[in-house]
Amino acid sequence: MAKPSSWKGLKLTTPATYRIRVQGRLENSWADRVAGMAVTVESSAVQSGVSTLVGHLPDQAALSGVLNTLYDLHLPLLSVENLDEK
């Protein structure tokens, strides 16, 4: 029999910490435009850079706002991960 999980699931109003990875460089000065998420950029000789955003968002509407901002900047989305669900 499976052991019950303490995770109660995700709702539209559930706050959560997310890690979002996009292809391209996003400067730290954009933190205000992406809900105050911390921005780091990984560079390599092969890629033009991958930006990682990590931060706590109050709900799914805030997550949607961040994703829309990244879309408007033409940064291809590589991954979105909820860090609280583990």
Query: For residue 42, what pLDDT is reported?
Result: 87
Q: Which domains does the chain have, with CATH numbers?
A: 16-82 (3.30.70.260)
Q: How far apart are CA 43 and CA 22, in angstroms?
A: 12
Q: Residue 39's CB: how many other CB atoms inside 10 A?
A: 20
Structure confidence by residue, pLDDT tens digits, 32-82: 899 999 999 987 656 678 999 999 999 999 999 999 999 999 999 999 999
Angstrom CA distances, 38 to 26, 55, 86, stand at 11, 6, 21
